[in-house]
């Protein structure tokens, strides 16, 4: 049984805690946070204390806090023997280098407090300073997820960047579509099945193959008409640049 201490009480901490709780191979012996309201969630199953009072020496410490706070929390663990890992996509492994045993335990998923998630399908990206530590993190990961990947810091940075396109920017396009619906008095709900299906289709075929629409067809008449329907200059700018990018993608491959 792997003993784990979680440092942090946000969305990632909560979903990790739930996943560990559901596994027979892991025991979360403690969750630490400074926010008294946030720690309540964990109280029934784990001991909770202020951020600097780790009472037990676990196998693994999981630092699941904001990127900016990782080094501060890491400082508070100096002298601990357990393996210390953070969960960030963009912070380097070296930030934990002062610890003899350190690594990365990065779940590549978007978590929200309200939505339950099937943790078995969450990709976990693992890295560590030694092979031995890597196998500890791999075992921990495999106990809660079916998708465990060995990913070094360089690859993790690239994944995190690709995730900005696939999640942050995509969500912003949903927002722009929402805004257009409100502007033109049509319910955004009509678009929701399209949004879900667009995402599901990538399971079947590459997005390159799945591309449709006026820019893909080189249908200038429709593009000009649609540009005319857009009211704000930055909507027009985004429409033009994204259409241009689609056009060049397919010209390039001709």
Q: Which one of 27-35, 93-101, 126-134, 174-182 is the stretch in contact with a second copy (CB under 8 A)?
A: 174-182
Which residues, 7 to 66, sit near a second copy by CB under 8 A?
Answer: none
Residue 109 interacting with a second copy (CB under 8 A): yes
Residue 114 interacting with a second copy (CB under 8 A): yes
| The binder of a second copy chosen from 34, 202, 220, 224 (CB under 8 A) | 202
| The binder of a second copy chosen from 173, 218, 220, 224 (CB under 8 A) | 173
| The binder of a second copy chosen from 212, 233, 251, 253 (CB under 8 A) | 212
Residue 234 interacting with a second copy (CB under 8 A): yes
Judged by CB, which is closer to a second copy: 131, or 184? Answer: 184
Q: Which one of 56-64, 69-77, 133-141, 244-252 is the stretch in contact with a second copy (CB under 8 A)?
A: 244-252
CA distance 41 to 121: 23
Angle of CA points 217, 218, 221, to nearest 5°: 110
Residue 238 interacting with a second copy (CB under 8 A): yes
Token duo for residue 91: 């912070």
CA distance 176 to 229: 14
Judged by CB, which is closer to a second copy: 52, or 110? Answer: 110
Query: Nearest 10 degrees: CA dihedral of 79, 83, 84, 89?
Result: 160
Residue 254 interacting with a second copy (CB under 8 A): no
Angle of CA points 110, 112, 113, to nearest 5°: 150
Residue 91 Cβ vs a second copy, minimum distance, rounded to whole Å: 10
**Longest CA span, the chain:** 68
Residues 119-158: x/- map of binding to a second copy (CB under 8 A)? --xxx-x---------------------x-x-x--xx-xx
- Phi, psi (degrees; rounded to nearest 5) at 120: -55, -25
Residue 252 interacting with a second copy (CB under 8 A): no
Residue 45 Cβ vs a second copy, minimum distance, rounded to whole Å: 25
Which residues, 63 to 102, sit near a second copy by CB under 8 A?
Answer: 67, 90
Q: Which one of 17-25, 45-53, 131-139, 201-209 is the stretch in contact with a second copy (CB under 8 A)?
A: 201-209
Q: Which long-range contacts (CB under 8 A, 24 or more apart) does 183-189 make?
A: 183/231
Q: Which long-range contacts (CB under 8 A, 24 or more apart) does 83-89 make?
A: 83/59, 83/128, 83/133, 83/136, 83/137, 84/60, 85/60, 85/61, 85/128, 85/137, 86/62, 87/12, 87/16, 87/62, 87/63, 89/125, 89/156, 89/157, 89/159, 89/160, 89/163
Q: Which one of 40-48, 55-63, 94-102, 114-122 is the stretch in contact with a second copy (CB under 8 A)?
A: 114-122
Looking at the DSSP bridge assignments, the partners of residue 205 are none
């Amino acid at each position: 049984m792997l003993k784990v201490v979680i440092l942090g009480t946000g969305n990632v901490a909560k979903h990790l805690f739930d996943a560990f709780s559901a596994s027979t191979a892991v025991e979360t012996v403690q969750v630490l946070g400074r926010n008294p309201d946030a720690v309540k969630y964990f109280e029934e199953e784990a001991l909770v204390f202020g951020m600097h009072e780790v009472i037990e020496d676990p196998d693994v410490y999981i630092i699941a806090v904001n990127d900016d706070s990782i080094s501060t929390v890491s400082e508070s663990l100096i002298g601990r023997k357990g393996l210390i890992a953070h969960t960030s996509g963009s912070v380097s492994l070296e930030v934990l280098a002062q610890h003899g045993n350190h690594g990365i335990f990065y779940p590549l998923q978007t978590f929200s407090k309200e939505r339950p998630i099937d943790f078995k399908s969450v990709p976990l990206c693992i890295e560590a300073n030694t092979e031995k530590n890597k196998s500890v993190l791999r075992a921990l990961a495999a106990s809660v997820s079916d998708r465990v990947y060995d990913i070094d810091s360089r690859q993790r940075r690239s994944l995190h960047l690709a995730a900005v396109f696939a999640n942050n920017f995509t969500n912003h396009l949903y927002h722009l579509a929402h805004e257009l619906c409100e502007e033109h008095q049509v319910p955004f709900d009509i678009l929701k099945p399209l949004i879900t299906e667009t995402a599901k289709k990538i399971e079947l075929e590459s997005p390159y193959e799945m591309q449709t629409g006026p820019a893909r067809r080189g249908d200038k008449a429709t593009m000009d008409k649609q540009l005319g329907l857009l009211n704000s200059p930055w909507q027009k700018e985004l429409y033009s640049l994204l259409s241009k990018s689609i056009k060049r993608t397919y010209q390039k491959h001709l």
